[in-house]
Amino acid sequence: KVQGGIYGPALEKHLKQHGNLTFRYFPQSFEFSTVGGWLATRGGGHFATFYQHVDDLVESLTIVTPVGVSKTRRLPGSGAGPSEYRMYLGSEGTLGVISEAWIRIRQRPTIRANATVVFDGDTSRDGFLLGAEAVRKISQSGVYPSNCRLVDGKEMVLMTQMTDYASSSVLILAFESDQRENLDTDMNHVLSLCRGLGGRVQNDGNVWTKSTKGGERNGVAGAWGKGFMAGGYIAAEAVLRGLLTNTFETAITWDKFPAFYKAVNSAVDALFEKQNNNGFGQFTCRFTHVYPDGPAPYFTFVSGGDISLNGEDNRITQWMEVKNAVTNVMIEYGATSTHHHAVGRLHRRHYDVENGKLYKQSLSALKTVHDPAWIMNPEVLLDHPKSSL
């Protein structure tokens, strides 16, 4: 049982002192986010498959509301009606504050297997679609890599300064275990699927299992990983230097993904042509998490900022134009408003569209019971009954 306010590094340090245990949940915000925040936003963490969301790593929780405290029962599983604790996951502070939780911990992995596969194309986007087909086959093959990240080659070049990948996509694969003695069978299985679609396995072989304390630290995968963990700092620096950068993430079924991917790229490319971005705009995609029925695409854009010679900064307007263009395509193709970044206020337009006919009324009734005065995180998920916004 842990307090909702404990930060990621403090949690892992504490668990390591008690039998080398771990929660094994590492979002990019790990350093500066808390267990309560992860639960309230239904965050996505370390695992690319199987345990993608924090939902599956929590057993029960306590929530403090304006009208009282509610504790859910600690159980390994239950079929007794709608899940009470899951009702609070993703509530984003609108129903109360998550003060503590029982979480599912595990032993730290003792062995790992890592591999990198390159899919070449005429452009990095061609390579990405080829890699996406390989990821689809892996996700439906009955094995669960802990890492299965497909990265656009242009993003790889930007993050690593390795220019060989400009017209490719790169698939970063990993398995890990604290119980098994060997992971070669699983790795060789997924690599055979990649080779069947033309993937080039770097440092190819048949033996992949290693006893190491960390993930891949070498090659393009290691370089990208270091850049990824520094991403938040790099973005802040880019803004100070007059650039515009941000991300969008979603999830969509495999049958819709290829057309959706092409449509969202076309929409942003057309917008970049119109915007005052000093002739520079880059829009790339990677898969952060994958499911047997679809991927979670994560889009990153970097462009020149619309800043006039007299110092007028139009980057917020510029950003919202890109945001609206992407959102319109997401709505058209039935993608979710967010896979793991939460709704907040920014995604409300899309969130309202994707919900069923009765859901908003039902959630409003739930909020009224927990928060009769509607003072908890107003205008998030729901409009205040007396709102003028």
Round to whole Å and give the CA distance between 44 and 26: 8
pLDDT in tens, 254-281: 999 999 999 999 999 999 999 999 999 9
pLDDT in tens, 303-345: 999 999 898 999 999 999 999 999 999 999 999 999 999 999 9
pLDDT at 388 over 60: no
pLDDT-based confidence at residue 385 (cuts at 50, 70, 90): confident
Q: Say how many C-beta atoms besides its own lie within 10 A of residue 246's C-beta.
A: 16
Instruction: Name residue, tokens 């599912």.
Output: 104
Q: Are 223 and 22 in contact (CB under 8 A)?
A: no
What pLDDT score was predicted for residue 240?
92
Task: Give the residue-averaged pLDDT of 179-196.
Answer: 97
**Collapsed DSSP state (helix, strand, coil) of residue 291:** strand
pTM: 0.95
Q: 262-289: b or e for each residue (b if 16 or more CB lie within 10 Å)? A: ebbbebbeebbeebebeeebbbbbbbbb
Q: 12-47: b or e for each residue (b if 16 or more CB lie within 10 Å)? A: beebeeeeeebbbbebbebeeebbbbbbbbbbbbbb
Q: Which two tokens stand for residue 26?
A: 């590492």
Q: Say how many C-beta atoms besides its own lie within 10 A of residue 307's C-beta.
A: 17
pLDDT-based confidence at residue 387 (cuts at 50, 70, 90): low
Round to whole Å and give the CA distance between 171 and 223: 13
Round to whole Å and give the CA distance between 61 and 167: 47
pLDDT-based confidence at residue 228 (cuts at 50, 70, 90): confident
Q: Among the listed ranges 27-31, 81-85, 175-179, which one has the minimum average pLDDT value?
A: 27-31
pLDDT in tens, 20-47: 899 999 998 999 999 999 999 999 998 9
Three state DSSP letters for 314-351: CHHHHHHHHHHHHHHHHHHHCCCCCCCCCCCCCCHHHH
DSSP structure class, residue 31: G
Round to whole Å and give the CA distance between 97 and 120: 48
Q: Which two tokens stand for residue 113?
A: 């297997």
What pLDDT score was predicted for residue 389?
46
Q: Are 54 and 45 in contact (CB under 8 A)?
A: yes
Nearest to 287 by CA among 350, 339, 349, 230: 339
